[in-house]
Amino acid sequence: MIVGKYAGCYVDELPNSYLRWICSQDFPKSILVVAKAKLKESPYSSEYLSISRHTYDQFSLRFIEKWEQRADKTTGLGTFIVKEAEQAWSEGIDVSKHRHQDDGILKELDGIVWVFNVSQQFSDYKDVITCYPPLST
């Protein structure tokens, strides 16, 4: 990397969270290929979905009862949020407005609107930017 927080570091030495972010940006193809390869090898990247800290905060403030009421008491909050977001991505209703090409994709499922950013280079990599209750109509 030649700029930013990790300037001087090799791409394959970066943390997975940063690699997932790289995959959602317009980096040169050579950097994206290395980032994707490292994520694929990692035991911690079985999910091609990155959840932002803001999403964790918003979920825990607004929807924590969903996690507290889950049947599987062995699932941690992070894994639960990822699984909920994955289900929203695959089964949710697209409520995006698509005002311009860089808008996120909004999917609503079970009383939560999830805001996704999809990598322009690798469409299987997604970031969840935030989540919130549906807006009143």
**13 secondary structure, DSSP code:** G
What is the phi-psi region of residue 8: left when phi exceeds 0, alpha when psi lies from -120 to 50, beta otherwise?
left
Residues 40 and 62 in one domain: no
Summarize the confidence of residues 6-22 as an average pLDDT.
Answer: 87
Is residue 92 domain-resident?
yes
Is residue 97 domain-resident?
yes
Which structural domain, as residue segments, surrounds residue 83?
49-132
Contacts of 93 (CB under 8 A, 6+ apart): 107, 108, 109
Place of tokens 């009862």: 65
Place of tokens 């394959």: 12
Determine if the pTM surpasses 0.75.
no
Residues 34 and 54 in one domain: no
> What integer pLDDT is reported at residue 101 of this predicted model?
62
Is residue 137 domain-resident?
no
How many domains does the structure of the chain reveal? 2
**113 secondary structure, DSSP code:** E
Summarize the confidence of residues 9-25 as an average pLDDT.
Answer: 84
